[in-house]
Structure 1
Amino acid sequence: MLKNKMKKFTRRFINSEERKNTRSATFYILLTIAAIAILYFIGIPALGRLASLVSSLRGNNNKISNSDFTPPPPPKFKYFPEFTNQQTLTLTGNTESGASVKLTFNGSPQEVLADNDGQFSFGVTLQDGINTFAATATDQSGNQSQKSDDHQITFDKKTPDLEITSPSDGSSYFGSNQRQITITGKTETDAKVTINDRIISVDDSGIFQYTTTLNEGSNTFNVKSTDQAGNTTEKNISLNFTS
């Protein structure tokens, strides 16, 4: 009797599993038919566009995650004169490659693009006296650098004052006691003075002195004063010596 009960239970279990498997198979068959219908009515191109949209969204997410928020370094200018007698100059420098460099010169802005090496240049026209300028750089992501150092260039066309206070041009000297003389003069403060191409020191008041020994006969001295902008004033004196 127990064996009969076990046989009945086994048959019920097998029938139940068969029904489950039949339902699963039916579900997957219907799902396959639905997928084929979607492909038929919507079309493969539409699915391609959908895949392209998904890929585009992924690309946009990558762009957002890879955005550049680091500003470029401030523009750095190469050598330029602090004083000059040239009214037009070219200012050059470097920053991040491809950045837009904005120069503010005497309050007026102008912009150029740095090249692939980060080099840039500006042509400027100086006004009399002190000219001020600084620059910033903006990279291709829109990040702006800090302002560069403030710089100055002084434009000066005036020649320096030069006075030879002693001796007078055409003076004559006699004998060994007068053979050694001192040329004294005054010029612009910070000017460079040369006498016959010898550099002579100038004090804070612009006074200079040069002691020399005269040769027999006529002695000519070329006195030249050059200011920081490169302007020059020259004077010549002739002194006679007879032993």
Structure 2
Amino acid sequence: MAVYIGLPILAKIAIGLSLIGGRNTTINETTSINVMTPVVEPLPSATNSAMISIYGFSEKDRKILVLVNGREEATTDTGKEEKFKFNNIKLSEGENKIEVVAKYQDKRSTATEFFITYKKEPPKLEIAEPTDGQTIMGEAKINITGSTDSGNKVSINDRLVIVDRNGNFTYPITLSAGENIFNFKAEDDAGNSKQLEIKVNYSP
């Protein structure tokens, strides 16, 4: 008994065998590349230096960009070690927005963002009472009062005093007979400081 198979069916079988055997086939594979957001070591919220360094990690062979206030400041490559380092990134006085971005071919990662305030001026420090060179008689217990910028730390003779949210402080103290010397220091969150010294004479 003879079995006849039409040519179209034979052609389909031949094409199927060719695909299974892997002959004369072309596979187009499109890979979607997602660029990882860089990991940046923590930066201070405030500094008294006009230059900062930035360290971090990303994927290998990525271009890393640093933007300061929207302006591209520096670029480098991670290479095979997947690390990056920037020295001498320049800040403007006041608040700065720092963005670190990874780039591969035409794709960019989302930015790692920081805000850093650059302060170069010493903090305010004023002593209202007592005044330098003042002579006090009678009661030995007095209050030292003064003011600084809100958020600053103040010490009197190396002892921290409480500063209220408006920057004012009051410190009770008992005077000794004769000359009393008080050393004041105010320090802001950027590390700037200001020092004052006053001398008060006490006569019981």
TM norm structure 2: 0.77
Deviations 1:150-180 (A, max 9, x none): 21111111111211000111223345xx122
- SS of the residue aligned with 2:100? strand
Partner of 1:122: 86
Say whether 1:80 aligns with 2:28. no
Deviations 1:120-164 (A, max 9, x none): 12231111111112122134xx48453133211111111112110
Larger Rg: 1
Identity %: 30
- SS of the residue aligned with 2:121? coil
Q: Which structure has the higher relative contact order (CA within 8 Å, separation 6+)?
A: 2
Partner of 2:20: none
TM norm structure 1: 0.66
- C-alpha distance in structure 2 between counterparts of 1:98 and 1:182, whole Å: 63
Q: How does 1:47-126 map to 2 (within 5 A)?
A: 69-109=32-72, 110-123=74-87, 124-126=89-91
Partner of 1:214: 175
Partner of 2:6: none
Shift of 1:68: 5.5
Say whether 1:239 aligns with 2:200. yes
Q: How does 1:22-37 map to 2 (within 5 A)?
A: none
Which residues of structure 2 form unaligned runs of 5+?
1-23
RMSD of aligned Cα (Å)? 2.4
Q: How does 1:217-232 map to 2 (within 5 A)?
A: 217-232=178-193
Q: Residues 115 and 200 of structure 1: is their aligned pair in 2 closer, same or farther, counting only changes over 3 Å?
A: farther
Partner of 1:170: 133
- C-alpha distance in structure 2 between counterparts of 1:201 and 1:116, whole Å: 51
Q: Residues 240 and 115 of structure 1: is their aligned pair in 2 closer, same or farther, counting only changes over 3 Å?
A: farther
- SS of the residue aligned with 1:150? strand
- C-alpha distance in structure 2 between counterparts of 1:70 and 1:223, whole Å: 58
Say whether 1:148 aligns with 2:105. no
The question of whether the paired residues in 2 share the 8 Å contact of 1:69 and 1:143 is answered with no
Which residues of structure 1 form unaligned runs of 5+?
1-56
- C-alpha distance in structure 2 between counterparts of 1:70 and 1:194, whole Å: 55
- C-alpha distance in structure 2 between counterparts of 1:179 and 1:116, whole Å: 70
The question of whether the paired residues in 2 share the 8 Å contact of 1:136 and 1:147 is answered with yes
Partner of 2:98: 133
The question of whether the paired residues in 2 share the 8 Å contact of 1:84 and 1:153 is answered with yes
- C-alpha distance in structure 2 between counterparts of 1:101 and 1:151, whole Å: 16
- C-alpha distance in structure 1 between counterparts of 2:162 and 2:80, whole Å: 47
The question of whether the paired residues in 2 share the 8 Å contact of 1:71 and 1:143 is answered with no
The question of whether the paired residues in 2 share the 8 Å contact of 1:70 and 1:143 is answered with no
